[in-house]
Amino acid sequence: MLFAPVTANAGVIDGSQSAGGLTVYLGVVPAAVVKGHPTGRPEAEMHGGPPASSHSMHITAAVFEKASGARIKDANVTAHILEPGGIQRSVRLQPMTVAGALTFGGYTTFARGINYRIGIVVDRPPHMLPSQSKQTPHAMHRKPSVTVHFTYTHD
């Protein structure tokens, strides 16, 4: 089988970043890729279906514990997008399962030829810490939010 080189239409610089004990992998693909799924498939309907704009992109973030490699499944994930000139917007990335693996995704638009900064913020729910004795109640523990930063250019 032969593969011909093609030009990319999306470019994430350093597609994986680590911070706060987590590793985040960022992907940005044209929303048209999602439109290609047959009607009735979950991919065709995720996040309310792909937008019609020609510059619509699907952002995905897979989040893992850095030390163990375990996939994070119980988080609220948001993409904070910063354009030159200080224009900012946020996109909530919703949990989605593709090929049996949970990741987070959402749609947004990117103008061509602009460098964007994308901050992926991962908020994990509080959890109970083990009690040291039967008389001491379990304490709630909240892990701090973790933000990792990426640079993206839509060419």
Q: Give tens-digit pLDDT for 51-78.
A: 566 678 889 999 999 999 999 999 999 9
Asked if residue 115 has pLDDT above 70, the reply is yes
Under the banding of pLDDT at 50, 70 and 90, the label for residue 100 is: confident
Q: Give tens-digit pLDDT for 12-44.
A: 667 899 999 999 999 988 877 766 555 655 555
Least confident of 57-66, 68-77, 103-112, 140-149: 140-149
Amino acid, res. 20: G
Q: Give the predicted TM-score (pTM) of the model.
A: 0.76
- Domains located in the chain, CATH noted: 11-153 (2.60.40.3340)
